[in-house]
Amino acid sequence: ATSAATTGVRVNQVGYLPDGPKGATVVTTAPQSLTWQLRDTSGAVVASGATVPRGADAPSGQSVQVADFSSYRGTGSGYVLAVDGNTSAPFDIRANLYDGLRSDAMAFFYHQRSGTPIDASLVGSAYSRPAGHLGVAPNKGDTSVPCQATVCDYTQDVRGGWYDAGDHGKYVVNGGISTWLMVNSFERAKRAGEDAALGDSTLKIPERGNGIPDVLDEARWELDFLMRMQVPEGKQYAGMAFHKIHDAAWTALPTRPEQDSQPRELHRPSTAATLNLAAAAAQCARVFKPYNAAFADRCLSVARRAWTAAQANPALYAPDSDSTGGGAYGDTQVGDEFYWAAAELYATTGESGYRDAATGSSWHTSESAFSAYGFGWSDTAALGRLTLATVPNGLPAADRDRVRTSVATAADGYLSRMAAQGYAVPVPADGYFWGSNGAVANDAIVLAVAAELTGNERYRTGALETMDYLLGRNALGRSYITGYGKTYAQNQHHRFWAHQLDASLPRPPAGSLAGGPNSGLQDPVAEEKLRGCAPAACYIDDIESYSTNEVAINWNAPLAWLTAYAAERTSN
Ligand code: 9MR
């Protein structure tokens, strides 16, 4: 082979854990195996071996070979992998590799807070800003928000929470799943006996040092908002959750939160949002109990009321067409949300009514609870399974074992898909849709839980390899996480972090994950610039490409979960 045959060596540009997998992908048309060399920062070859030809890789549209240097156990920085005259981006091999990203991925949520000033002493002056949406002109504010026409005739205080993404909308289904992931990360770390997750040491947030774990403080910021979205007693749809609250019309980029002058509107309650609230609030009741019993009780009563209201209104769907001024988050299949909410309520209360609702649901046994594309805001059955598999409960042993096995079976599916692909991605070739990086991270969570349930190291290996994908071992040889890697996304779609459009504004802060490749080409920039792209290459680091390059709470939440997991063994 000549070096002309080989055009890239794709690695995790941050690096690898000493005891973790170390895989790289070589882009090459060479038909035969090549020699790889691992070189340390002085240029010395510290390990070498042969690549494995893999031929055409459908998702990337590339011909690739794979190099595996997992057996190398040295540590240091400035390594490169050299193959056929090409060298990779430099990377580290060290035990504390994920400590920084762990904090930054979680800090994303403080940056996204609505209804509170973002404090320069916590985030630095470039990222500080006044409170958004508290009713200070020109903001209309979220403290007294009217409904859209005919939905209701009163106003509701729905301040706080996190902005969903690059926009200023707040959507219950996406807020609930993101909060659930954050609290679930804590619940998992606690099972693992992880001190750092329990202490007050990792997050720069105003509540630090208040005696409650930081991650729960951050989750509570959203939980308080989600509970404000519940329709009050005595009103039509009492106990349900308004589907969303956002601007009457889309604002331009850039628009800082405090400068948004659009009227804010509550949109009609939906069954999906109501069940999402029930699930997140039931989980809250369980996990917050030791730290704040009064708050936990409030969560439980909200969850119970939401469950009852959803049963009384089981088919009030949010329409896909409702996307003026905010995203639709439409969903007409809510059986999975019923299952998830029942599972959380059962895990928290042990009551037979909730148990029967969970075990009687087809989602309790359906093989499609864990889809190849990960769970998501509209596919929540997997979350119910993960809870019933990991939280002690009174399910009969055989049923409990079956639920646990279903997690491992799903994980086996992700592993076999990873093994069959040149870039070790758990999603299939047709899985590169809006927010594919979130789906990849969600699949990795299932792998990590399977590792916990079975003690089988190969699942941990798979979970860590998905981090490689997000951090540069991918079709584009680019990290999708701001501030991490040699070449990283830094123009994600955001109304405040809009440096690409206005140099006085900051870039997205370190730890912000781009939505990732989306073969649907669903924005004008993607349509124009990405035409003909292979699925895994349908991405552009342009602020206007909201369908490939937005940030969102439901993508950074699994990233935070995963990096906490990846950092775990190394934090002591
Ligand atoms: O993540 C959402 C994706 O699944 C949908 O296909 C897409 C179009 O409806 O919307 C995505 O969510 C966006 C939301 O609608 C508005 N805020 C930004 C979200 C991330 O792009």
Residues 172 and 77 in one domain: no
| Same domain assignment for residues 87 and 108 | no
Q: Indicate left, alpha or beta for 193 from its phi (over 0: left) and psi (-120 to 50: alpha).
A: left
- Helix, strand, coil percentages (3-state) for the chain, rounded to 5, are 40, 15, 45
Tell me whether strands 52-57 and 62-68 are parallel, antiparallel or unpaired: antiparallel
**Does the beta carbon of 434 sit less than 6 angstroms from any atom of ligand 1?**
yes
- Mean pLDDT to the nearest integer, 85-114: 97
CA distance 99 to 400: 34
Tokens 């040092």 correspond to 209
| pLDDT of 198 | 61
Judge if ipTM > 0.95: yes
Residue whose CB lies within 8 A of the most ligand 1 atoms, among 167, 434, 548, for a mutation test = 434
Say if ligand 1 is within 6 A of residue 169 CB: yes
Does 82 share its domain with 175?
Answer: no
Query: Does the structure show a pLDDT above 80 at 200?
Result: no
Sheet holding 170-171, edge to edge: 170-171, 241-247, 264-270
Distance 427 CA to ligand 1 centre (A): 19
In CATH, what number is assigned to the domain containing residue 8? 2.60.40.10
Catalytic residue check, 92: no
Shared-domain flag, residues 305 and 371: yes
Task: Enter the pTM of the model.
Answer: 0.98
Q: Which atom of ligand 1 is nearest to the CA of 552?
A: 20
Query: Which numbered atom of ligand 1 lies nearest the CA of 554?
Result: 1
Position 435 in a domain: yes
User: Do residues 264 and 341 both lie within one domain?
Assistant: yes
Helices (H), 257-330: 271-288, 293-312
User: Does 562 have pLDDT greater than 90?
Assistant: yes
Looking at residue 174, its amino acid is N
Last residue of a domain, one of 93, 125, 154: 93
Distance CA 207, CA 107 (A): 13
Give residue-wise pLDDT tens across range 215-255.
Answer: 999 999 999 999 999 999 999 999 999 999 999 999 999 99
Q: How many structural domains compose the chain?
A: 2
- Please say if the pLDDT value at position 42 is more than 50: yes
- Residue from 177, 329, 427 whose mutation best tests the ligand 1 pocket (most atoms within 8 A of CB): 329
In a domain, 483, yes or no: no
Q: Which residues contact 34 (CB under 8 A, 6 or more apart)?
A: 1, 6, 26, 28, 50, 51, 65, 83, 84
Q: What is the pLDDT of residues 64-88, one digit of tens each?
A: 999 999 999 999 999 999 999 999 9
167 ligand 1 Cβ < 6 A: yes
Residues 430 and 302 in one domain: yes
> For every residue of 148-201, which 3-state class applies, written as one string?
CCCCCCCEECCCCCECCECCCCEEHHHHHHHHHHHHHHHHHHHHCCCHHHHCCC
CA of 227 to the centre of ligand 1 (A): 22
Q: Which atom of ligand 1 is nearest to the CA of 320?
A: 9
- Indicate whether residue 516 lines ligand 1 (CB < 6 A): no
Strand, helix or coil for residue 341: helix
The whole-number pLDDT of residue 4 equals 83
Cα angle, residue 28 at apex, residues 24 and 34 outer, rounded to 5°: 70
Q: State which residues form the domain around 174.
A: 99-477+551-570
> pLDDT digits over 318-372, tens only?
999 999 999 999 999 999 999 999 999 999 999 999 999 999 999 999 999 999 8
Question: 48 has which bridge partners?
Answer: 37
**Beta-carbon count within 10 A of 198 CB:** 17
pLDDT-derived band at 108, boundaries 50, 70, 90: very high
pLDDT tens-place string over residues 160-187: 999 999 999 999 999 999 999 999 999 9
Is residue 40 located within the same domain as residue 128? no
In the reported structure, the alpha carbon of residue 177 is separated from the centroid of ligand 1 by a whole-number distance in angstroms of: 14
pLDDT of the residue at 1: 44
In-domain check, residue 309: yes
Peptide bond before residue 396 is cis, with ω within 30 degrees of 0? no
Confidence category of residue 299, pLDDT binned at 50, 70, 90: very high
**What digits encode the pLDDT tens for the residues 490-535?**
999 999 999 999 999 999 999 999 999 999 999 999 999 999 999 9
- Are residues 84 and 230 both part of a single domain? no
Q: Among 172, 174, 518, 551, name the best residue to mutate to test ligand 1's pocket (greatest count of ligand atoms within 8 A of Cβ).
A: 174
With a 6 A CB cut-off, is 164 part of the ligand 1 pocket?
A: yes
Q: Note the pLDDT tens digit of each residue in 429-486.
A: 999 999 999 999 999 999 999 999 999 999 999 999 999 999 999 999 999 999 999 9
Tell how far the Cα of 329 is from the centroid of ligand 1, in angstroms: 7
pLDDT at 534 (0 to 100): 98
Please report the atom of ligand 1 found closest to the CA of residue 165: 18
pLDDT confidence of 570, banded at 50, 70, 90? very low
Q: Is residue 537 part of a domain?
A: no
Mean per-residue pLDDT for 396-416? Answer: 98
Determine, yes or no, domain membership for 538. Answer: no
User: Is residue 197 pLDDT above 80, yes or no?
Assistant: no
Q: Calculate how far, in angstroms, residue 552's C-alpha sits from the geometric centre of ligand 1.
A: 8
pLDDT band, very low/low/confident/very high, at 123 (cuts 50, 70, 90): very high
Locate the ligand 1 atom nearest the alpha carbon of residue 378 and give its number. 4
Q: Which long-range contacts (CB under 8 A, 24 or more apart) does 328-335 make?
A: 329/171, 329/173, 329/174, 329/243, 329/244, 329/272, 329/377, 329/378, 331/173, 331/270, 331/272, 331/377, 331/378, 333/378, 334/271, 334/272, 334/275, 335/361, 335/362, 335/363, 335/381
Q: Is residue 380 assigned to a domain?
A: yes
How far lies 496's CA from each of 71, 128, 543, in Å? 44, 10, 11
Give Cα 279 to chain centroid, integer Å: 17
Which among 541, 542, 544, 568 is annotated as catalytic? 541
Give the Cα separation of 41 and 34 in Å (integer): 22
- Position 203 scores a pLDDT of 86
Looking at ligand 1, which atom is closest to the CA of residue 555? 1
Query: What number of CA atoms fall less than 13 Å from residue 526's CA on the CB side?
Result: 26
- 541 catalytic, yes or no? yes
Residue 487 domain-assigned? no
Residue nearest ligand 1's atom 10 by CA: 327
The average confidence (pLDDT) of the chain is 96
Which ligand 1 atom sits nearest the alpha carbon of residue 327?
A: 15
What is the CA(521)–ligand 1 centre distance, in A?
A: 13
**Confidence at residue 193, expressed as pLDDT on a 0 to 100 scale:** 87
- Tell me which amino acid residue 182 is: M
Last residue of a domain, one of 77, 93, 109: 93
Whether residues 27 and 173 fall in one domain: no
Residue whose CA is closest, atom 21 of ligand 1? 550
Residues 379, 458 within the same domain? yes
Ligand 1 center to 241 CA (angstroms): 19
The answer to whether the CB of 281 falls within 8 A of the CB of 306 is: yes
Report the distance separating Cα 117 and Cα 279, nearest Å.
29
Residue with the nearest Cα to atom 6 of ligand 1? Answer: 434
Q: Three-state DSSP class for 369?
A: helix
Cis peptide before 506 (omega within 30 of 0): no
43, 68, 93 - which closes a domain: 93
Retrieve residue 316's tokens: 């009030």
- Among 433, 513, 550, name the best residue to mutate to test ligand 1's pocket (greatest count of ligand atoms within 8 A of Cβ): 550
Verify that 7 and 108 share a domain, yes or no. Answer: no
**Are residues 11 and 57 part of one domain?**
yes
Residue 461 sits in a domain of what CATH number?
Answer: 1.50.10.10
